[in-house]
Structure 1
C-alpha cells in the first residue's frame, strides 16, 4: 500500500520534517516580514528600560545611588541587566535576530524588484471595461503614448494598444528603508567594536588627558587598544550653574550649565578656548566629550597631631539630594601622624537651621557649609584590597573622635576645628565645583546618521507613492482607457479621471497643431 504525500506528512507528524526540514522552516519563519516587524517592535520595546533606569555606561553614580536607596529592588533589576540594557545578552539576541531577519527579507526582495524593474509593462487586456477604472475618450494611440512618456510612465506598445506603468519607486523606497535599517545595525556594531566610552570627574583647575589611566570608568570596544585613543587634553578653567531663584514656584530648577575649557587637540596643537554645555559637546578628532553632571568640591587643609599639614586640596562630594544638592563626601588622610585620619562630610550649598538640624534649601552656593564627623585609626590602605574614595564602609579599625552627634554644627568657609584628643585640626578653606564627563568615540556615528536619513526617505517613498497601470486600446474606432492600482488600499479613481482628461486634451492639442 502506497501513501500519498499528505498521508505521509500526517502519519509522520512534525518530526517527519527532519533536521534539514526544520532548519528550512525556521529560516522561512525568521526571514518573513512579519517576524522582522515583530523583532523591530521588540527592539524598540527592549530599549525602554534604558530610558527608565540609569545605565552604568552613562551615569554609574546614579546606579550606585539606586543601590543605596533600594538595594533589594536594585539587585533584582541588575539580575535582568536593566542597568546595562544595551550590552545585555537578551538585547544582543534581539539585535542579531533582527539583523538576520532583515538580510533574509531584503536580499530576495531586492533581486525580485530588480527583475521587475527591467520587465516591460504587460500587454493590454482585451476588454478594458472590466477593469475597476475605465473610460471612453477621444484621441489616438500615438498621442496617448507621447503624453504618457512625457509624464515618465514606463510605456510599451503593441498592435492597437499602449501599456504604461508607474510607481516602482514605492517598492524601491520599501527596500531602501530595510537596507538602511541593515546599515544602521552594522554601524552600531562597528561602533561597538571600534569605539570606546569613558567617564571621568574633573574638578575646577584640574586637567584631563585622554588616556586610559585618566578615566574613572573606561569601556573600550573589543578591537580598541590604548594607542587608539585621540591625544587631546584640556583644563577645566571654570564651571558655572544658574538656577531659578527663591520665591518662584519652580525655585531651584536649573537654567543653564556651562564649563570653560582650555583645550589642546594634540600635544603639539595650540591651546583653544571652548565652552562646554549639556547639548554642545567638545569634539576632538572624532571623539565627543559630553557634560553629564556636576557637583561641589569643598577644599580642606588637615593638620595631624604632630603639627604637620597632612592633606590640602579639594574633595568631590557626591550629590545625595538633586533638588537642593546636599552632598556627601569622604576624606582619607593616610599621612596624618601619629594616627591616620578619616572624615565623613555633608556639604550644604545654602544652609539654614531647622530646629536641631541643618539643611540646604537651594542648589546654588548661597551659604555653603560642611558638617564633619572625624575618625582615627588604620585606613587599611596597605592591605592590598581596593577601596572606594567615596566610602568608609568596611573600615573596622577606625574609631570616632570625640562624641558623635547626628547633626554637628556646620563649618563655614574659613572656619577651623580642633580635633579631639589632640589628633589635629581641619580647616574649610574654600569651594570649587566638579563636573562629570563622558567621552565617546563611535566610528559608526556618521554612517548611522546617513542610514537614518535614507530610512526616512525610503519610508516617505513607500507611503506616498502608489504603483498603478494604465492601458489604452483602440477598438471599433473608439479609444478606451483602463487602469488599476497595484497598491492595496490605494485610491486611483481621482488620478485616473484627471489622466483621461489630460489624454483627451493632449490629443486635441496635437490635432490643432497639425491643422
Structure 2
C-alpha cells in the first residue's frame, strides 16, 4: 500500500508489528503479566490438581457433580498445563526478554560513560554547601579526588577545570537487571521440569513394595519431552508406618507428625533404609520420593455362596476429614452365585454421640466398618471404565434384610457377617495403614533455585545501594583576599534522601586540609 492510498491514522503491517512489540515489551506489560500469572496460579492452589493428587480430584468430582463439567472445560484440574496458563507464561517470558535486552545495552553504555560535569550553579541544587578557605584551589581539588576516589568513580578532567565530579551506585541498576534475569532463570527452570520431568503418585499399604515403572503408579503425569528411559531403576518397600497424634489442645485428634520406615535398593545395589517424613524426601539419583498423606486400609475377606474366597486383602479407604472418617468400596465380582459389592465408611475410633455414629479420634482405637451391600451388575462385565474407589450401583440391587430395609454390614476386627439368601459372608480381619507418596523428577530445580538466589541478591542490591553524584568546585574568591571558595553538592538519584549526612561527612573530610595547612 502506497503512502497516498493510506487513510489517516492507518498503520502498515510493519508499523503495527512494531507497535505490538513495544506494548508487549514494556515494563508495565511485564508487571501486568506477572500479576496475571500469580492470579492464574490461585486455582491450582485451591482446586485439587490431577497431576498432584488424582484421588482428591476424584473425590471433588463426586462431591460437586454440577461444577465438574465447567471446571473440566476450563482445565481447572490441570491449571499449570492448560493453554491459557501456558499463554500467560510464554508472554511473560517474551515480555521480560524484550525488557531486559534494551536495558542491558543502556547499562553497558552507562558503565562506559563518565560522570557528568559539574553544573554551572552548584548552589541551586537541593543538597549543597559552600565555605571559604585559605588553601589553594588545586590542593582542595586534589584532596577531593583523594576522598571521593575511594568509593566513587571520578570524571577525567582537564588542566583548566575547576571542579571534581564523582558518581557511585552503578550496582543498583545491575541489581535490577539481575532480579529480572533471575525471573527468566526461574521460568526456564520450571519449564525444564515441565518438559523433561515427570510426577506420579501411588498409595502403598504397609508391607508392600513399589518398583519404579509406569505400571506401578496410580497416576502419572509426564512432561512433554519425557522419555521412559529417564526413570531410575529403584524399588522400595514400606516396612513400618508410625503417627504421633495430638491428644490435647485445640487440634486434639489430629496427626502432629508421621513417618514411614522404608528399605530401598537402587538397581542391584545393597538395600538401604530411610525414615521418610513430610518435607524430608528420599532422593535417589535425581528422583525425589515425598510422603504426602496417609490413611487406613481395612483387611476384608469376602466369601461367596460356595464358601470360596472372592475377595481378600487390604482395601484402601480415602479420608474425608481430619478425623480420618474414610470412604471405601469392595467389588467382589467373581463371587458365585451372585456378585457382591460393598461401599461405606470406616471409623477409626467409633463412638455413638446423640445417636449418631462418629469417629472422635484419628487413631484406630476402636476401628469399625459400616457398609451397605449390593449384588447384581457391578459395572465390570460390560467394559465400563470404573475407578477402584467407586462402586457402580446404577444396575446393582441392594441386599436387604427380612424387613425389606437395606442390609448394613457393621464390623469390627475379627467379626464376620453372613449375607442373606446364601450369598456368602464378609469378614473384617484387621487394619493396615497406607501411605501416599509422590515420586517426581524435576531436572530444572537446581536452575530454579539459582534463579531464586540471584533474585534475592538483585533485590538486596536494588534496595540498599543508593546511587548518587557528587561535585566539588574550588575557585578564587570575588573579594580579592586571595582565599578559595569551595562549593560542594550531592545529588541523590534514588529518591531515598539522607544526603545531608553524606554532605556533612564530605565537608568534614575536605576541611581537614585547611586545618592541616594552619597547623603547618
TM-score by length of 2: 0.90
Residue 88 (1) aligns with residue 90 (2): no
| Residue 58 to residue 405, structure 1, CA distance change in 2 (3 Å) | farther
Aligned to 1:479: 486
Tell me which moved more, 188-197 or 346-355: 346-355
Question: Per-residue CA shift, 1:182-207, capped at 9, x if unaligned?
Answer: 11111111111111110111111111
| Residue 337 to residue 173, structure 1, CA distance change in 2 (3 Å) | same
Quote how far apart the aligned CAs of 1:494 are: 2.4
Tell me which moved more, 376-385 or 184-193: 376-385
Q: How does 1:355-434 map to 2 (within 5 A)?
A: 357-393=356-392, 396=395, 398-403=396-401, 405=405, 408=408, 410-434=410-434
Unaligned runs of 5+ in 1: none
Quote how far apart the aligned CAs of 1:482 are: 2.3
Q: Pick from 174, 178, 181 the counterpart of residue 179 of structure 1.
A: 181
Residue 283 (1) aligns with residue 283 (2): yes
Partners of 2:452 and 2:203 in 1: how far apart? 33
Aligned to 1:251: 252
Q: Pick from 92, 96, 100 the counterpart of residue 102 of structure 1.
A: 96
Quote how far apart the aligned CAs of 1:491 are: 4.3
Quote how far apart the aligned CAs of 1:105 are: 0.6
SS at match of 1:55: coil
Partners of 1:358 and 1:144 in 2: how far apart? 86
RMSD of Structure 2 on Structure 1 (CA) = 2.5
Partners of 1:213 and 1:433 in 2: how far apart? 22
Question: Per-residue CA shift, 1:173-224, capped at 9, x if unaligned?
Answer: 1111111111111111111111111011111111111111111111101111
Quote how far apart the aligned CAs of 1:354 are: 4.7
SS at match of 1:58: coil
SS at match of 2:156: strand
* Matched-pair contact (CA < 8 Å) for 1:350–1:364: yes
| Residue 201 to residue 131, structure 1, CA distance change in 2 (3 Å) | same
Quote how far apart the aligned CAs of 1:492 are: 2.5
Aligned to 2:211: 209
Aligned to 1:17: 11
Aligned to 1:112: 106
Quote how far apart the aligned CAs of 1:339 are: 3.1
Partners of 1:154 and 1:366 in 2: how far apart? 78
Aligned to 2:314: 314
* Matched-pair contact (CA < 8 Å) for 1:67–1:75: no
Aligned to 1:295: 295
Tell me which moved more, 481-490 or 293-302: 481-490
Partners of 1:237 and 1:53 in 2: how far apart? 33
Partners of 1:56 and 1:145 in 2: how far apart? 66
Quote how far apart the aligned CAs of 1:440 are: 1.6
SS at match of 1:157: coil
Quote how far apart the aligned CAs of 1:100 are: 0.7
Question: Per-residue CA shift, 1:207-260, capped at 9, x if unaligned?
Answer: 1111111111111011111111122221111222232227x4432222111111
Quote how far apart the aligned CAs of 1:421 are: 1.6
Partners of 1:324 and 1:447 in 2: how far apart? 40
SS at match of 1:156: coil
Aligned to 1:199: 201
SS at match of 2:220: strand
* Matched-pair contact (CA < 8 Å) for 1:331–1:343: yes
| Residue 206 to residue 54, structure 1, CA distance change in 2 (3 Å) | same
Quote how far apart the aligned CAs of 1:152 are: 4.2
Quote how far apart the aligned CAs of 1:488 are: 4.0
* Matched-pair contact (CA < 8 Å) for 1:161–1:473: yes
Partners of 1:406 and 1:251 in 2: how far apart? 35
Aligned to 1:334: 333
Unaligned runs of 5+ in 2: 477-483
| Residue 152 to residue 165, structure 1, CA distance change in 2 (3 Å) | closer
Aligned to 1:33: 27
Quote how far apart the aligned CAs of 1:124 are: 2.4
| Paired residue total | 501
Partners of 2:281 and 2:407 in 1: how far apart? 40
| Residue 359 to residue 484, structure 1, CA distance change in 2 (3 Å) | closer
Aligned to 1:497: 504
Quote how far apart the aligned CAs of 1:346 are: 2.0
* Matched-pair contact (CA < 8 Å) for 1:319–1:326: yes
Aligned to 2:223: 221
Quote how far apart the aligned CAs of 1:406 are: 6.0
SS at match of 1:192: helix
Question: Per-residue CA shift, 1:100-157, capped at 9, x if unaligned?
Answer: 1111110011011011101121222333223333222546111211121123434433
Quote how far apart the aligned CAs of 1:35 are: 1.2
* Matched-pair contact (CA < 8 Å) for 2:243–2:255: yes
Aligned to 2:168: 166
Quote how far apart the aligned CAs of 1:89 are: 2.0
Partners of 2:472 and 2:206 in 1: how far apart? 79
Aligned to 2:52: 58
| Residue 346 to residue 143, structure 1, CA distance change in 2 (3 Å) | same
Quote how far apart the aligned CAs of 1:57 are: 1.8
* Matched-pair contact (CA < 8 Å) for 2:206–2:238: yes
Q: Pick from 67, 81, 84 the counterpart of residue 73 of structure 1.
A: 67
Aligned to 1:153: 153
Tell me which moved more, 154-163 or 360-369: 154-163
Tell me which moved more, 416-425 or 488-497: 488-497
Aligned to 1:343: 342
Partners of 1:270 and 1:299 in 2: how far apart? 32
Quote how far apart the aligned CAs of 1:415 are: 0.7
Give runs of ≥4 in structure 1 deviating > 6 Å.
none
Quote how far apart the aligned CAs of 1:458 are: 0.8
Tell me which moved more, 439-448 or 43-52: 43-52
SS at match of 1:17: coil
Partners of 2:192 and 2:172 in 1: how far apart? 30
